[in-house]
């Protein structure tokens, strides 16, 4: 076979997808598998967004889009940033891509030189370090311990910064821990970042609408306007409007960075689907009702799952304040043997034994940079969640 690129050596299939594949294989063998592995809303896309896509297609909006987004969606994104985040952007300061993931990719590709460091507090969304490494960068992971509600101290941020640091990535509410961030914390991060004017800051706020308690969401760029010329704020419609498959995300930041990211995107994908962009306009401008329903529903499910987890033998669970995951600790299960005879030495061993013996798919914390933990998505109906917890409880009771 002709050779593959050496950069593939650092690239793996995300553990979330690996677990979903195992779940599908067991299902094909007739097992009733419950998968809480993926981060995907179980709600339907708002009908108005689907109508807008249909109308756009029939109206002939089926040609190549402007690379950085349609005029209508860029206006809707600017409106959203102004209304919800207190951030005024001009047209040259926002862009649309194929999901928040492409915006992140554009930003890192437009800025990273080989060996540049990217500060990614752990636990983290697994794509940050993978994309960093793919582009020749080096991830640096200060820890956000459970004892601090999975938050990053300003001291830990400062200690992670070196002369090679190019980016700091902040993600609130956080995937996988659900940690949120107060104004005071943001201000403390800002005073660290003030001392390092050569560093870009990426604020991934894709879960901003899914906050259940604690402080309301705030954007660093609004709390620290003097840092705005180096902050890129990322959002999208995947999580807030149950539109993962439409592939629309957006970013707001300084015009020179957005211009560079647009150049990358023009050579990679030529921009996002015009039809999806029309749907995203409708979601951003009229989707508040779904957001409200999802918030109430996820909060109830979070409470359900966290109390069930806390009642399990050997499991601890901090309360996630946002996003739609729980991140229970399993330290007391390490070193034990499952009812099926599997030795649990790591959180991956736990996750693998759980799917084989109780047919519940979750993802090991190691995939998000902090062990021994598990990530469970609560984006499933109550009965499914209760059944998953019941099976997990049987699994924990069986540990010897």
Residues of the shown chain interacting with ligand PMP in the complex, contacts defined by CB under 6 A = 39, 99-101, 125, 171, 175, 204, 206, 236, 238, 244, 249
> Rounded CA gap, 192 and 297, in Å?
37
Least distance (Å) between residue 244 CB and ligand PMP:
5
Rg of the chain over all Cα atoms, to the nearest angstrom: 21
Of residues 234 and 257, the one with the C-beta less far from ligand PMP: 234
Least distance (Å) between residue 347 CB and ligand PMP:
19
Least distance (Å) between residue 206 CB and ligand PMP:
4
Whether the bond into 372 is cis, omega within 30 of 0: yes
> Rounded CA gap, 182 and 174, in Å?
13
Which residue of this chain has its Cβ atom nearest to ligand PMP in the complex? Answer: 99
Least distance (Å) between residue 22 CB and ligand PMP:
19
The helix/strand/coil state of 306 is helix
Of residues 120 and 312, the one with the C-beta less far from ligand PMP: 120
Of residues 89 and 125, the one with the C-beta less far from ligand PMP: 125
Of residues 237 and 308, the one with the C-beta less far from ligand PMP: 237
Backbone angles phi and psi of 95, in degrees to 5: -145, 160
Least distance (Å) between residue 205 CB and ligand PMP:
9
Of residues 206 and 290, the one with the C-beta less far from ligand PMP: 206
Query: Which pairs count as long-range contacts for 285-291, CB under 8 Å and 24+ apart, including other chains?
Result: 285/76, 285/79, 286/46, 286/48, 287/46, 287/48, 287/49, 287/237, 287/240, 287/241, 289/46, 290/43, 290/46, 290/241, 290/242, 291/209, 291/240, 291/241
Of residues 68 and 204, the one with the C-beta less far from ligand PMP: 204
- What residues have CB less than 8 Å from 357, skipping those under 6 apart? 338, 339, 340, 342, 395, 398
Least distance (Å) between residue 43 CB and ligand PMP:
15
| Angle at 70 (CA atoms; ends 67, 72), nearest 5 degrees | 160
Backbone angles phi and psi of 90, in degrees to 5: -90, 175
Of residues 133 and 393, the one with the C-beta less far from ligand PMP: 133
Compute the residue count for the chain: 400
Least distance (Å) between residue 204 CB and ligand PMP:
5
Instruction: DSSP letter for 82, please.
Output: I
CB 347 within 8 A of CB 15: no
CB 35 within 8 A of CB 361: yes
How many other C-beta atoms lie within 10 A of the C-beta of residue 28? Answer: 9
**CA distances (Å), origin 116, targets 139, 198, 207, 231:** 9, 12, 27, 18
Least distance (Å) between residue 349 CB and ligand PMP:
25
Of residues 99 and 366, the one with the C-beta less far from ligand PMP: 99
Least distance (Å) between residue 85 CB and ligand PMP:
16
Least distance (Å) between residue 236 CB and ligand PMP:
3
Question: To which H or E segment does residue 139 belong?
Answer: strand 138-140
| Angle at 276 (CA atoms; ends 92, 126), nearest 5 degrees | 80
Of residues 171 and 364, the one with the C-beta less far from ligand PMP: 171
Of residues 17 and 331, the one with the C-beta less far from ligand PMP: 17
- From the list 236, 211, 208, 210, the residue with the least C-alpha distance to 222 is 208
């Amino acid at each position: 076979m002709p050779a593959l690129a050496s950069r593939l050596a650092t690239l793996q299939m995300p553990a979330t997808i690996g677990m979903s594949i195992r779940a599908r294989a067991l299902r094909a063998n007739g097992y009733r598998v419950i998968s809480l592995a993926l981060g995907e809303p179980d709600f339907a896309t708002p009908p108005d967004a689907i109508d807008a896509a249909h109308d756009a297609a029939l109206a002939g909006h089926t040609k190549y889009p402007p690379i950085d987004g349609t005029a209508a969606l860029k206006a809707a994104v600017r409106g959203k940033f102004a209304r919800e985040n207190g951030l005024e952007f001009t047209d040259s300061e926002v862009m649309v891509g194929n999901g928040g993931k492409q915006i992140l990719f554009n930003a890192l590709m437009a800025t990273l030189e080989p060996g540049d460091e990217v500060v990614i507090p752990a636990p983290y969304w697994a794509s940050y370090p993978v994309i960093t490494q793919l582009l020749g960068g080096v991830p640096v992971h200060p820890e956000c311990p459970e004892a601090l509600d999975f938050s990053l101290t300003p001291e830990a941020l400062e200690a992670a910064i070196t002369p090679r640091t190019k980016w700091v990535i902040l993600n609130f509410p956080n995937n996988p821990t659900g940690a949120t961030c107060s104004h005071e914390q943001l201000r403390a991060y800002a005073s660290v970042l003030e001392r390092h004017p050569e560093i870009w800051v990426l604020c991934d706020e894709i879960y901003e609408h899914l906050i259940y308690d604690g402080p309301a969401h705030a954007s660093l760029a609004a709390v620290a306007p003097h840092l705005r010329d180096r902050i890129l704020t990322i959002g999208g419609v995947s999580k807030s409007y149950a539109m993962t498959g439409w592939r629309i995300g957006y970013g707001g930041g300084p015009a020179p960075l957005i211009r560079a990211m647009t150049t990358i995107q023009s050579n990679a994908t030529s921009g996002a689907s015009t039809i999806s962009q029309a749907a995203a306009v409708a979601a951003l401008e009229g989707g508040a009702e779904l957001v409200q329903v999802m918030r109430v529903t996820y909060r109830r499910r979070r409470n359900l799952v966290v109390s069930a987890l806390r009642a399990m033998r050997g499991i601890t669970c901090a309360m996630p304040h946002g996003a739609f995951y729980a991140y229970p600790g399993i330290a007391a299960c390490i070193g034990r043997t499952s009812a099926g005879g599997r030795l649990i030495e790591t959180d991956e061993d736990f996750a693998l034994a759980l799917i084989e013996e109780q047919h519940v798919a979750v993802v090991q914390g190691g995939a998000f940079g902090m062990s021994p933990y598990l990530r469970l998505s609560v984006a499933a109906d109550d009965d499914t969640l209760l059944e998953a917890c019941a099976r997990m409880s049987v699994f924990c009771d069986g540990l010897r």
